């Protein structure tokens, strides 16, 4: 019987089979052949054969599936996974840092509080006579001074009521029925010598506001709340008190903020020079802004001044930050300067008539003016005088000066000098020194104090933080040339002495050695030195530690040393040397000492200048 076309089409569609692309090539060809056979017209293939082919095709499919699974299992074995892991770049693995170890240490301590009672064995008690490798008892880390504002500073366990604590910290204000009120120098513009002037100005502002000045931390010739060391590492602890300004140490202030209940309120204030901040404005205008400019505290302000949570107990949430911007050229006109000072005091004073809200207990200042605002005499206060330095540095400088033969001290600030004028001044220096040697034949040495890293010509750290980015290869070439010329002259002239050389020439009394080794910055340097077995005597340790001293302290010691020089030489300001308050302070002190009857002082001049001729 003949089938119709539609019937044949339905039969063909009903028996259509689909090949499996994932099968091996040989199987695919076999399946395709069987498909063609299975799709053949019913008139060509008999029913029994068609059934057989269907069964065979199913088994081939099953076999292909089993083979795929089998080869897949062989490929993805554990060893293959290990090979894949070994190919992962090391940088994708998270490193174990010291922070992780610190967290693990704190976690362990939380489970076993009794461990905190175990005594800590100082490094100095370890046996250093053993020639073997030292035993690692703990991971070494940088020691932190007890005065340092540490992010992990613990909160006191027992808060003290505000009135009770304020009576102890601020008895005068408490007797008048007032809470403690402080002014904190969060940041002070400019370096050490000029920063003294600015800090004195902040002290006068604190007096006008009936607040106590918090002595800032210091480091690398800078002052503020973020530097590492206490104020008395640089200066006499009564330096501001001698000028009639009440003060409190930064450490005592932090303890007050962390202990007081409730936490003291605080406000951030920026006092900026309009010349560096805004464009043209009337010369007598004072600008107040709610908030701080982005250039001052670009993110969270309290973090940038190291007084945020975990570092102090101050509460900054109740008062918006405030910016006070000076008039232009305010320092050139006495009446404008006086008006600016009055506006500053009024803006930061309590004004209960306009608001029932009291002023913040703490004002944290970013102070970046370049000239004094307040006249001490007009306010019936003591005039400014440079701060007395910590007695230990005065003693050290005197020992270094006595260790040198008669010497001329050269203070040479190269910052801002053009390379052409610097080269001319360099060429004229040797003849000037030769002339001094001829006038004072007993001179035997030249001590060089400069912002250029002379200890390591061509490298090193400049003694001026603002000069570090200005040093060029030409500076290095010029200094190599002058030092080469000086050594050639030195056979019949003067021995070159630098700070490190002076340290090796001196012998320090045992009491001074012990005192110096206990100071924060020196203790850190000694800590790094003493991990090496057989590192030497205390004298050798001290010399090594002093050679790595904080750059601000090096400047202070050199200043005190140069004051004691037999001859003082510097470049004409603006020609062979930068106009420097550092130099001015040296001249001022030498002028006071020139007529001193102290036999240990033998000053032959106040100052000599040389030029580029």
CA-based nearest residue to 260, from 149, 147, 360, 166: 166
Q: What is the sign, positive or negative, of the torsion defined by CA atoms of 308, 314, 320, 322? A: negative
Say what the pLDDT of residue 506 is: 96
Please name every residue paired with 577 in a beta bridge, in sequence order, or none if there are none. Answer: 573
Q: How far apart are CA 497 and CA 554, in angstroms?
A: 15
Closest C-alpha among 145, 394, 95, 322 to residue 251: 145
Residues 6+ apart with CB under 8 A from 7: none
Residues 6+ apart with CB under 8 A from 562: 409, 411, 447, 449, 568, 586
According to the 3-state scheme, what is the secondary structure of 304-320? HCCCCECCECCECCCCC
Residue labelled with tokens 């009857």: 597
Residue entry with tokens 């008539």:
353
Mean pLDDT for 578-586 is: 88
Q: Which two tokens stand for residue 170?
A: 């601020």
Sole residue written with tokens 């892991």: 85
The CB density around residue 576, as the number of other CB atoms within 10 Å, is 25
Has residue 437 got a pLDDT over 70? Answer: yes
d(CA 45, CA 556): 111
pLDDT at 94 over 80: no
- 53 against 393, higher pLDDT: 393
**What is the pTM for the complete model shown?**
0.71
Residue in the structure block whose two tokens are 């610190």: 102
Position 10 scores a pLDDT of 42
CA atoms of 523 and 542, how far apart (whole Å): 9
What is the dihedral sign for C-alpha 99, 102, 106, 111? positive
- 218 φ, ψ (degrees, to nearest 5): -135, 150
Give pLDDT tens digits for 109-143.
433 333 333 332 333 333 333 333 333 333 334 44
Are 42 and 9 contacting, i.e. CB atoms less than 8 angstroms apart? no
Lowest-pLDDT range of 29-38, 174-183, 453-462: 29-38
> Would you state the pLDDT for residue 82?
47
Distance of alpha carbon 545 from alpha carbon 562, whole angstroms: 21
Helix (H, G, I), strand (E, B) or coil at 492: coil
Instruction: Please provide residue 496's backbone torsions phi and psi, each rounded to the nearest 5 degrees.
Output: -80, 130
Question: Is residue 300 over pLDDT 90?
Answer: no
Q: Is 182 strand, coil or helix?
A: strand
DSSP letter for 229, please.
B
Helices (H), 499-580: 499-505, 510-517, 520-530, 538-547, 551-563
Helix 520-530 with 510-517: angle, nearest 10 deg: 90
Query: What percent of the residues of the chain are helix, what percent strand, and what percent coil, each to the nearest 5?
Result: 45, 10, 45
Q: How many CB atoms lie within 10 A of CB 512?
A: 14
Give the confidence band of 269 by pLDDT, cuts at 50, 70, 90: very high
Share of the chain above pLDDT 70, in %: 68
Beta-strand relationship, 407-412 and 567-571: parallel
| Token code pair at residue 60 | 């081939």
Helix or strand or coil: residue 456? helix
CB atoms within 10 A of CB 282: 8
Average pLDDT over residues 414-434: 87
pLDDT at position 513 is: 93
For 427, other C-beta atoms within 10 Å of its C-beta total: 14
Burial class (CB in 10 A: 0-12, 13-18, 19+), 496: middle
Tokens, residue 39: 């799709």
424 and 482 Cβ atoms separated by less than 8 Å: no
């Amino acid at each position: 019987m003949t089938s119709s076309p539609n019937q044949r089409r339905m039969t063909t569609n009903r028996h259509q089979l689909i090949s499996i692309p994932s099968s091996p090539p040989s199987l695919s060809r076999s399946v395709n052949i069987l498909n063609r056979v299975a799709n053949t017209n019913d008139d060509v293939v008999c029913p029994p054969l068609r059934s057989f082919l269907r069964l065979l095709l199913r088994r081939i499919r099953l076999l292909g599936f089993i083979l795929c699974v089998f080869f897949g299992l062989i490929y993805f074995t554990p060893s293959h996974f290990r090979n894949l892991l070994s190919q992962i770049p090391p940088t994708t693995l998270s490193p174990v840092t010291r922070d992780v170890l610190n967290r693990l240490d704190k976690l362990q301590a939380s489970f076993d509080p009794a461990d905190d009672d175990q005594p800590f064995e100082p490094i100095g008690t370890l046996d250093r006579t053993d020639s073997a490798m030292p035993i690692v008892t703990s991971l070494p880390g940088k020691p932190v001074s007890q005065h340092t504002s540490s992010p992990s500073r613990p909160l006191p366990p027992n808060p003290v009521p505000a009135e009770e604590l304020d009576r102890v910290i601020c008895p005068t204000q408490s007797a008048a029925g007032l809470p403690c009120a402080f002014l904190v120098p969060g940041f002070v513009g400019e370096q050490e010598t000029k920063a003294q002037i600015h800090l004195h100005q902040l002290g006068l502002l604190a007096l006008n506001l009936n607040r106590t000045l918090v002595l800032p931390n210091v480091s690398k010739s800078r002052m503020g709340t973020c530097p590492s060391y206490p104020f008395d590492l640089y200066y006499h602890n009564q330096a501001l008190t001698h000028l009639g300004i009440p003060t409190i140490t930064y450490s005592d202030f932090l303890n007050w903020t962390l202990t007081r209940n409730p936490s003291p309120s605080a406000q951030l204030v920026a006092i900026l020079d309009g010349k560096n901040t805004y464009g043209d404005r009337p010369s007598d205008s004072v600008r107040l802004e709610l908030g701080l400019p982005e250039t001052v505290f670009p993110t969270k302000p309290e973090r940038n001044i190291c007084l945020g949570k975990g570092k102090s107990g101050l509460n900054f949430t109740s008062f918006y930050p405030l910016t006070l911007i000076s008039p232009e050229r305010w320092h050139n006109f006495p009446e404008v300067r006086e008006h600016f000072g009055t506006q500053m005091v009024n803006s930061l004073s309590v004004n209960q008539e306009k608001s029932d809200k009291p002023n913040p207990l703490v004002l944290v200042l970013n102070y970046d003016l370049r000239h004094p605002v307040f006249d001490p005499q007009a306010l019936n206060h003591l005039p400014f005088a440079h701060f007395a330095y910590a007695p230990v540095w005065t003693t050290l400088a005197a020992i270094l000066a006595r260790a040198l033969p008669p010497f001329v001290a050269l203070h040479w600030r190269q910052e801002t000098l053009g390379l052409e004028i610097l080269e001319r001044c360099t060429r004229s220096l040797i003849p000037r020194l030769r002339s001094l040697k001829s006038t004072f034949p007993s001179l035997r040495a030249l001590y060089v104090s400069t912002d250029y890293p002379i200890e390591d010509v061509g490298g090193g750290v400049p003694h001026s933080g603002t000069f570090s980015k200005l040093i060029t290869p030409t500076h290095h070439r010029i200094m190599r040339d002058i030092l080469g010329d000086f050594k050639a002259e030195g056979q019949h002239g003067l021995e070159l002495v630098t700070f490190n050389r002076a340290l090796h020439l001196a012998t320090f009394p045992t009491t001074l050695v012990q005192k110096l080794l206990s100071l924060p910055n020196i203790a850190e340097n000694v800590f790094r030195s003493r991990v090496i077995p057989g590192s030497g005597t205390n004298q050798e340790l001290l010399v090594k530690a002093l050679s790595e001293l904080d750059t601000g302290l090096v400047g202070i010691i050199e200043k005190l040393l140069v004051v004691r020089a037999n001859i003082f030489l510097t470049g004409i300001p603006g020609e062979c040397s930068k106009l420097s308050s550092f130099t001015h302070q040296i001249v001022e002190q030498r002028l006071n000492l020139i007529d001193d009857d102290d036999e240990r002082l033998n000053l032959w001049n106040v100052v000599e200048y040389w030029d580029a001729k």
